């Protein structure tokens, strides 16, 4: 069975914007300009799906800078609590289908 991916969602910029921009650059490797655009676009996903540990580490870097971040499971779109273990796939319900229009 394939492992789920986890992405980091920047939910709020926080009060220390310059530190948050540097943290986004550290986590993503994008330019200063693009980091600022991401910060101003919150809530926004700042990483591609990755291992749980890597996503939690990236969220920790963002949180340490004063920004607010969450780790989201790609399978079920649930937020994973920081420091929590992997999800049990047998208990995960798929996210409801979104309607267009």
Selection from 5, 21, 1, 7 nearest residue 67 by Cα: 21
In this predicted model, what pLDDT tens digit does every residue of 47-89 receive, in sequence order? 999 899 999 999 999 999 999 999 999 888 898 877 655 555 5
Give residue 100's pLDDT band: very low, low, confident or very high (50, 70, 90). very low
Does the structure show a pLDDT above 50 at 9? Answer: yes
Of the chain, the percentage scoring pLDDT greater than 90 comes to 62
Instruction: Decide: 25 and 65 in contact? Cβ < 8 Å.
Output: no
Residue by residue, DSSP assigns the chain as: -PPPPEEEEEEE--S-HHHHHHHHHHHH---HHHHHHHHHT-SEE-S-SB-HHHHHHHHHHHHHTT-EEEEEETTT-PEEPTT-----GGGPPPPPPPPP-
In this predicted model, what pLDDT tens digit does every residue of 16-56 receive, in sequence order? 999 999 999 999 999 999 999 999 998 999 999 989 999 99
**pTM of the predicted model as reported, rounded to 2 decimal places:** 0.76
Q: Give the C-alpha separation, 68 to 86, whole Å.
A: 21
């Amino acid at each position: 069975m394939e492992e789920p991916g986890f992405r980091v969602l920047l939910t709020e910029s926080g009060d220390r914007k310059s530190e948050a921009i540097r943290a986004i650059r550290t986590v993503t490797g994008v330019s200063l300009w693009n980091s600022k655009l991401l910060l101003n676009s919150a809530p926004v996903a700042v990483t591609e799906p990755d291992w749980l540990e890597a996503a939690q580490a990236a969220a920790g870097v963002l949180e340490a800078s004063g920004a607010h971040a969450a780790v989201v499971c790609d399978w079920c779109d649930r937020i994973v609590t920081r420091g929590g273990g992997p999800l049990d796939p047998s208990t995960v319900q798929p996210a409801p289908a979104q309607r267009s229009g």
